[in-house]
């Protein structure tokens, strides 16, 4: 579904990605892990068109090359709204809900670009089926939710934008271990519904243990990839510090 080839990103003089290639297949949950500053967020931002945005709209000194194909179409060079409309939707890091709005209002805000009202209501029902805790808190102000619930709301809100592939950055950061696990289990439930997900997370063990396929990024390069990275002692020791 998503094929990234030889992705290079540079900001000013700093080269951040040195030719990253990765694939997400239909129905797959793929985890991208690696140390701080490895370039994980930059990879997701490049896929979602935000590096192009930096370049073309903000006119920042940046360089981007490589191929990004989504559902057979070249999307490298498109701006974020065009990419999102094709169904490649990013749920960014530390995404906070509108605290004064209710859970339901936050979800509807995620569907602002959608025109078909009936579709939006169907999607709302699907989001509540995946995240029953949000249905219970539908009329509660989002600012009153726990950290884990706010993260679930962020993912559910991304679902409202009609994704065909979801990119999620650091869903578990700042959450207690049990909550992390439950957030990841819900992300798997999203995958089980047939929606492929590319997730970035600092908790490599957790992310890799639940993913179908993993990539380890280090200093802007993919240094290991495969379905069973946690079973590989060299990978665990050299790249994951486990």
Can you give the binding site for ligand ATP, defined by CB under 6 A? 11, 14, 16, 34, 36-42, 202
Given a contact cutoff of 8 angstroms between Cβ atoms, the answer to whether 130 and 190 are in contact is yes
Q: How far is the CB of 31 from ligand ATP (least distance, A)?
A: 13
With b for 16 or more beta-carbon neighbours within 10 A and e for fewer, the 98-126 pattern comes to eeeebbbebbbebbeeeeeeeebeebbee
Strands annotated E in the chain: 2-11, 14-24, 29-33, 62-70, 73-74, 88-91, 165-169, 197-200, 213-218, 221-226
Q: How far is the CB of 36 from ligand ATP (least distance, A)?
A: 4
Pick from ligand ATP, Mg ion, none: which does 159 bind, CB < 5 to 8 A by kind? none
Of 102 and 202, which has the nearer Cβ to ligand ATP? 202
Of 36 and 234, which has the nearer Cβ to Mg ion? 36
Closest Cα partner for 133 from 122, 123, 146? 146
Q: How far is the CB of 57 from ligand ATP (least distance, A)?
A: 13
Q: How far is the CB of 191 from ligand ATP (least distance, A)?
A: 22
Given a contact cutoff of 8 angstroms between Cβ atoms, the answer to whether 192 and 161 are in contact is no
Of 21 and 114, which has the nearer Cβ to ligand ATP? 21
Of 15 and 41, which has the nearer Cβ to Mg ion? 41
Q: Which residues bind Mg ion (CB under 5 A)?
A: 40-41
């Amino acid at each position: 579904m998503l094929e990234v080839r030889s992705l290079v990103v540079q900001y000013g003089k700093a080269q951040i990605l040195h030719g990253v290639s990765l694939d997400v297949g239909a129905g797959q949950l793929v985890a991208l892990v690696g140390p701080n500053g490895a370039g994980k967020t930059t990879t997701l931002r490049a896929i979602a068109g935000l590096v192009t945005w930096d370049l073309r709209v903000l006119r920042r000194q940046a360089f981007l090359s490589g191929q990004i194909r989504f559902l057979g179409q070249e999307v490298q060079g498109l701006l974020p709204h065009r990419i999102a409309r094709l169904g490649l939707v990013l749920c960014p890091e530390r995404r906070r809900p509108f605290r004064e709005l209710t859970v339901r209002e936050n979800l509807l805000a995620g569907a602002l670009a959608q025109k078909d009202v009936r579709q939006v209501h169907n999607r709302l029902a699907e989001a509540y089926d995946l995240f029953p805790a949000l249905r219970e808190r539908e009329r509660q102000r989002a600012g009153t939710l726990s950290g884990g619930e706010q993260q679930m709301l962020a993912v559910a809100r991304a679902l409202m934008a009609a994704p065909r592939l979801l990119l999620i950055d650091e869903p578990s950061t700042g959450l207690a271990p049990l909550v992390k696990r439950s957030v990841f289990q819900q992300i798997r439930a999203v995958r089980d519904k047939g929606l492929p997900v590319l997730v970035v997370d600092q908790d490599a063990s957790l992310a890799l243990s639940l993913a179908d396929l993993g990539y380890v990024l280090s200093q802007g390069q993919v240094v290991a990839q495969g379905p069973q990275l946690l079973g590989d002692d060299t990978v665990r020791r050299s790249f994951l510090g486990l």
